[in-house]
Amino acid sequence: MSKATFGAGCFWGVEAAFRRVRGVTDTAVGYMGGTLDNPTYAEVCTDTSGHAEVVDVTYDPDQVSYEQLLDVFWDNHNPTTLNRQGPDVGSQYRSAIFFHSSEQKAAAQAAIEYLNRNSRYRHPIVTEVTPASTFYRAEEYHQRYLEKRGLEHCHI
C-alpha cells in the first residue's frame, strides 16, 4: 500500500470523491502543514495554525496510479484560487499536494506544468507542492462525514 495526501478545500467532499476510486483502500481526514501539535478543528479554523484540511489516502498502486489520484484531485476543486474553495476562505482551505516521495513530487509538478501549458484553467494553478509532514487525524465526527449522512455522492 502507498500513501497520498491532498488538500483541496473542505475535506468532507474531497474524502468522498477519493473513497469512490477503485484501488483506494482507506481514507482519513485531518490536518497537515502547520505549526501546532495535535491541532483541533477549532484551532485550524482560526487560520493561524498553518494547517490545511487534508485527505490522507491509502491506495494500492497495482490498482490505481498516483497520476489517477492527481486527476481526482484536480477534478474536485479549483486549484487556481489562493486560500479558498467556494465560500470557504482561509489558508486551511488551500490547494495543496503533500508528497511522500520524490516520484510523487515529480508527478505533481509535471501535472501542474501540463495543466498550465494546456490552459485547462483560465488562471494559473496555485497549488502548493510540499513534503508531507505529520498527519493529524481530525476529530471522529469529521471522518466519512458525508457518508454518515447519506450524502457521499453530493459535491460539496
Residue 156 lies in a domain: no
CA 82 to chain centre: 14
Split at pLDDT 50, 70, 90, the class of 153 is low
Residue 155 lies in a domain: no
- What type of residue sits at position 85? Q
d(CA 112, CA 146): 29
Contact present, 104 and 66 (Cβ < 8 Å): yes
Residue 52 lies in a domain: yes
Query: What's residue 58's pLDDT?
Result: 98
| Exposure of 31 in the CB half-sphere (CA atoms within 13 A) | 24
Based on the structure, what is the number of domains in the chain? 1
Q: Quick check: helix, strand or coil at residue 146?
A: helix
Residue 154 lies in a domain: no
Split at pLDDT 50, 70, 90, the class of 138 is confident
Quickly tell me which residue has 487525524 as its cell.
137
d(CA 148, CA 141): 9
Q: What percent of the chain shows pLDDT beyond 70?
A: 91
Range of the domain at 8: 2-148
Question: Could you list the active site residues?
Answer: 10
Q: Is the confidence at residue 86, as pLDDT, over 90?
A: no
Residue 48 lies in a domain: yes
Split at pLDDT 50, 70, 90, the class of 79 is very high
| Residue 147, C-beta contacts closer than 8 angstroms, at least 6 positions apart | 16, 19
The larger pLDDT score, comparing residue 154 to residue 134, is at 134
Task: Please tell me the pTM assigned to this model.
Answer: 0.91
Residue 153 lies in a domain: no
Mean pLDDT for 83-92 is 93
Q: Quick check: helix, strand or coil at residue 29?
A: strand
d(CA 100, CA 43): 25
Q: Is the confidence at residue 42, as pLDDT, over 90?
A: yes
The larger pLDDT score, comparing residue 38 to residue 139, is at 38
* pLDDT tens-digit map of 113-132: 999 999 788 899 999 999 99
Range of lowest pLDDT (46-50, 124-128, 136-140): 136-140
Contact present, 47 and 90 (Cβ < 8 Å): yes
User: CATH number of the domain that 130 lies in?
Assistant: 3.30.1060.10
